[in-house]
Amino acid sequence: MAKNREKDDADRGFNSSVMTGVDSSISLLKLISTLIVFVVGVVIGLVSSSHINRYLTFQDDRFTFTHSYIDSLQFSVETPQLEAQCGREDCLSIESFISPRNLNHGMTDGELFWRASMVPQKEEFPFKKVPRVAFMFLTRGPMPMLPLWERFFKGQDLEKYSIYLHTHPRFDLNVTKDSVFNNRQIPSQGVEWGSVSLVDAEKRLLANALLDFSNERFVLLSESCIPVYNFPVIYSYLIESTHSFVDSYDDPSRYGRGRYSRSMRPDINLADWRKGSQWFELHRTLAIKIISDTKYYRIFKKYCRPSCYPDEHYIPTYLHMFHGSLNANRTITYVDWSQIAPHPASFSAVNITESLIQSIRNNGTFCSYNSEKTQICYLFARKFDASALEPLLNLTSKIMGF
């Protein structure tokens, strides 16, 4: 039936165009002369604009000189023939499209989120795609655990991970040229604890990491986080997981449901409201959903204000409402809430023992993983202060396997 109707419509369209063609045969001459005038106009326009273009391009080249210089330096190492054909910045290359090496850019958040939301329609990739884990560090300044992370990444396959740092906008991480953390700071903005700017920073990290098409899993970490397993274990745990790990639960207390605002109705009801730790792990599909959402983000920005913390509610609630089946609803970042305090406990040098790390790795309790049971519930842990570094470095090879 539907097919027939489509055909009818096509027939009618054909008939009517034939009819009007006959009717207007007299004005055909008129049409041709109009066309000639139009074509001449276009040619004159093109000739004059090419002069203007050349002028503009020249200006543009001067402005972007530093950029293209750096780009050509990076590409000349692996693909000298590419540079010969194409030294300019606007030259299209698959390398810089699928995996931008220079993390610096001048895009606004709006431009960045839009670009990062692009999804290829073609299933095969025209390059060897090794799925990567993006380690995204949301930090304020120095990273006391840096030597531990350097050891964690040492000797690992560079194709299997990438690192992104969101810092204070004026902070400059001083690391040596051969460090895996060198040149991994993304264009950052100020973050105010407890405000929506924290969610903005998380989205900024996600969007910058999404620009690399090989990034498949996205882990959010802080400067006080440590890995409690080695890279190969963490890599396969994440890459092989059918779920993302975002803490998301209903907390009936005033610290959960108490932070809900009735102004969010009817788009978000109290029954939809969820809470969870901000330290998420997301699959690429969900990362794209989160940076693409405007509607619910705006509601949180408007109505989730102190003492409502958008970073603890926006992503857990949004995923629960629309993508719950893709979420494990638990976090893979351990934190100690055993002491009664508004903040979780910090670990200092005195607290670091083999048994502490061992118990975080495996506490005899089970978690679900791909619909089965596993003894590995946590891959990372927080909050460790600077004094914990040395004793932790002493334990890595014996306990953590790196």
Ligand X SMILES: *[C@@H]1O[C@H](CO)[C@@H](O)[C@H](O)[C@H]1NC(C)=O
Chain contacts with ligand X (rule: CB under 6 A): 174, 243, 320, 324-325, 327-329, 336, 338, 345, 347-348, 350-351, 359-360, 363, 390-391, 394
Shortest reach from residue 133's CB to ligand X, in Å: 20
Q: Are 96 and 127 in contact (CB under 8 A)?
A: no
Which single residue brings its beta carbon nearest to ligand X? 324
Q: What is the DSSP string of 87-149?
A: -STT---HHHHHS-S-------HHHHHHHHT-----SS-SS----EEEEEEE-SS--TTHHHH
Of 128 and 343, CB closest to ligand X: 343
Pick from 299, 294, 296, 310: nearest CA to 114? 294
Of 20 and 353, CB closest to ligand X: 353
Pick from 328, 238, 233, 322: nearest CA to 276? 328
Shortest reach from residue 95's CB to ligand X, in Å: 30
Pick from 234, 235, 231: nearest CA to 152? 231
Shortest reach from residue 188's CB to ligand X, in Å: 18
Distance of CA 80 to the CA centre of its chain: 31
Here the tokens at position 45 are 């326009």
Residues 6+ apart with CB under 8 A from 194: 306, 307, 309, 311
Shortest reach from residue 347's CB to ligand X, in Å: 5
Q: Are 222 and 216 in contact (CB under 8 A)?
A: no
Of 127 and 366, CB closest to ligand X: 366
Of 149 and 369, CB closest to ligand X: 369
Of 251 and 336, CB closest to ligand X: 336
The DSSP 8-state label assigned to residue 219 in this structure reads E
Of 239 and 393, CB closest to ligand X: 393
Shortest reach from residue 362's CB to ligand X, in Å: 9
Shortest reach from residue 176's CB to ligand X, in Å: 7
